Amino acid sequence: MRIAVLQATSAVGHIDANLDVLAAAAAEAAGGGADILVTPELFSTGYAPDRIHHLDGAAVRQSVSTLAVRHGIAIVASTVEQSDAERFITATLFGADGAQVIHYRKSHLFGAGEAQFFTAGAALSPVVRFGDLSVALGICYDVEFPEYVRALAVAGADLVLVPTAVPVRVASEFDPTAVPRLLVPARALENTVAIAYADQCGTGFAGHSCIVAPDGSFAARAENEPKLIFADITSEAIRSARAGNPYLRSRRLDLY
């Protein structure tokens, strides 16, 4: 399966302009032979919880579905979902036929901004067979928790697709690029899963989007510039990683 990851900067509140960027990326990804395009967290609205939390992403999801059909490529897009009085940050995998394959609500909210305006999802992403791989979703902060990705791997996931928007924290000693440089490869290696991690970039965001193979190596990576990256993840690569890496088989479930 050929995966494309979009790293770009979206404009807060400018949905049409952001969808134009997404459409161009879908065309380029399809032209490059990709089966799936993964886009950043809340790309269509821009990442600003206090300014976009009231928006309903239903129309955006329909637009993404239409783009998937137009370009003949599966797309993962992150949007706001309104449900009664609650609001969720979500990610949806649309097939190349426009059908919704997976819809997931972010379960680990990052910081006071997200927690103030959104509700945390209460379930793991479904794991769905897609092509020759079993695929699941995560959103940004989710992947920083070993338990989340491990639970997906135990449920049968081969590939985890992760829209993200990692902010650069002012006056903080924490290096936000440590997440894609260190944690994402660790999650892949310890679970023998591939991970496609699509970040926003530019002022205020960490960038460093990546596609990581199930042995923890980088199959493709970006710095902090707008870029579309590609990598091939095969079922054989998953089988080979699991044959040589005993982490999942060596768990002591009698202890933990």
Which residue numbers are catalytic? 41, 106, 140
For 255, residues 6+ apart whose C-beta sits below 8 A from its C-beta are: none
Both tokens of 253, joined, read 């479930």
**In terms of Cα–Cα distance, which of 169, 179, 163 is closest to 90?**
163
Q: Cα-Cα-Cα-Cα dihedral of 102, 238, 196, 68, to 10°?
A: -50
- Cα–Cα nearest to 77, from 162, 10, 136: 162
Residue 127 and residue 135 in contact, taking contact as beta carbons nearer than 8 Å: yes
Question: What are the tokens at 105?
Answer: 């609500």
Q: Which of 212, 213, 210 is nearest to 238 (CA)?
A: 213
